[in-house]
């Protein structure tokens, strides 16, 4: 029987470690015994294995997901001078916009579909202008944007497409995973992701071998061997220990994603019919991997406090959209300019979801949420 006083965290990385402790400890021990902390066999093997898992192609491993976006944009578009524009959404983590700016371009923020919280394709196309160079669709919460529609628009306008897949490890749209049809897909391996390292790490997946090679070189001081530098790059290397950990986790992530879908199904069942709780919507052509299970509720702060008071960890992703952030005030957007985005930011609530979660825990979360919205 579940202890009703026991904390249910938003994500439980400790449970994941305990479930695979022997395997993870052995991988780390092997890496330590080789002292292959930068590069090495685990790094090379992970690049191959991750690319194959993504659908067959090439992977460049980098220091974090933000660098993945920056380097992918620079190597597909060239370093910008601030005049070119790249379209993305306001409902995302600031790293998406930071990467656009760091690559030398201006972010143009567009509206979301209120059902899925993903990029509104019509709004995206309407935002295309003479200075538009690329589109960065964000596959938020574990569900992919309608990539066939994005690519049709991009090809018609001659635009580059770089996918922000930081929350979409294993997700697919009409059977295709991120990076299948675009120029590149960028992943974060931040610890809480569906496929997470024990620190910062990231990757770019692409079907373009030359692009993967250029990004890998750019991330390693512009070199292809130890002492010969083809150009000035940066230091953004995924270290050997993270590669060893990720290789172990990669073998399990499909099962973990299946477990997340099962838990999401429990929530759908347990919360169905309550008009005070808006459940997440999954498109029929999408395979959702539920990095987050996000509902919408009124009076969110009161609901969140009730959940916390009952030892249930919840989160908000994201309470302040990018167009309302002080850091992006220079874009000149008001809250009402992206009405759906601003509305969602005030009501979204992320419920606990992790592969080791039990039915009893899901029932307790659901019962407490129903109690909270009815109070």
Task: State the pLDDT at residue 1.
Answer: 40
Binned average pLDDT, 10 residues per bin, the chain of 375 residues: 77 97 97 93 97 98 98 98 98 98 98 97 98 98 98 98 98 98 98 98 98 97 88 96 98 98 98 97 97 98 98 97 98 98 98 98 98 91
Q: Pinpoint the residues of the chain covered by CATH 3.40.640.10.
A: 16-250
Report the alpha-carbon distance of residue 205 to residue 185 in Å, rounded: 5
Residue 174 zone, left/alpha/beta (φ > 0; ψ -120 to 50; rest) = left
Task: State the pLDDT at residue 226.
Answer: 80
Task: State the pLDDT at residue 272.
Answer: 97
Task: State the pLDDT at residue 4.
Answer: 66
For the domain spanning 253-374, the CATH number is 3.90.1150.10
Residue 158 buriedness (CB in 10 A; 0-12 / 13-18 / 19+): exposed
Task: State the pLDDT at residue 224.
Answer: 75
Q: Are the CB atoms for 203 and 195 separated by under 8 Å?
A: no
Task: State the pLDDT at residue 375.
Answer: 73
Report the alpha-carbon distance of residue 138 to residue 206 in Å, rounded: 16
Q: Pinpoint the residues of the chain covered by CATH 3.90.1150.10.
A: 253-374
For the domain spanning 16-250, the CATH number is 3.40.640.10
């Amino acid at each position: 029987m579940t202890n009703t006083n026991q904390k249910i965290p938003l994500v439980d990385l400790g449970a994941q470690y305990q479930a695979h402790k022997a395997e993870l400890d052995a991988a780390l021990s092997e890496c330590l015994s080789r002292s292959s902390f930068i590069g090495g066999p685990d790094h090379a093997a992970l690049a191959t294995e991750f690319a194959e898992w993504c659908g067959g192609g090439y992977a460049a491993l980098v220091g974090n997901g933000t660098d993945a976006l920056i380097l992918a944009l620079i190597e597909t578009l060239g370093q910008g001078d601030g005049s070119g524009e790249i379209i993305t959404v306001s409902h995302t983590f600031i790293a998406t916009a930071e990467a656009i700016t760091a690559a030398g371009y201006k972010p143009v923020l567009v509206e979301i579909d209120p059902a899925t919280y993903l990029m509104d394709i019509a709004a995206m196309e309407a935002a295309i202008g003479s200075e538009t160079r690329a589109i960065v669709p964000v596959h938020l919460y574990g569900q992919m944007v309608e990539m066939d529609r994005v690519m049709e628009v991009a090809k018609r306008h001659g635009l580059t497409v770089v996918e922000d897949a930081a929350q979409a490890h294993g997700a697919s749209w009409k059977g295709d995973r991120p990076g299948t049809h675009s120029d590149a897909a960028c992943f974060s391996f931040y610890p809480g992701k569906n496929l997470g390292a024990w620190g910062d790490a990231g990757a770019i997946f692409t079907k373009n071998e030359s692009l993967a090679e250029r990004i890998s070189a750019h991330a390693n001081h512009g070199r292809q061997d130890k002492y010969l530098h083809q150009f000035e790059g940066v230091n953004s290397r995924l270290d050997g220990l993270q590669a060893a950990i990720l290789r172990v986790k990669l073998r399990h992530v499909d099962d973990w994603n299946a477990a997340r879908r099962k838990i999401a199904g429990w929530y759908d069942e347990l919360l169905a019919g309550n008009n005070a709780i808006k459940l997440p919507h999954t498109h029929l052509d999408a395979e959702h991997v539920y990095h987050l299970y996000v509902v919408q509720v009124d009076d969110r702060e009161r609901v969140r406090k009730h959940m916390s008071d009952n030892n249930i960890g919840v989160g908000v992703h994201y309470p302040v959209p990018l167009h309302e952030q002080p850091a992006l005030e220079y874009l000149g957007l008001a809250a009402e300019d992206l009405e759906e985005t601003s509305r969602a930011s005030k009501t979204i609530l992320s419920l606990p979801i992790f592969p080791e979660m039990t039915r009893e825990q899901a029932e307790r979360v659901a019962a407490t949420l129903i109690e909270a919205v009815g109070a």
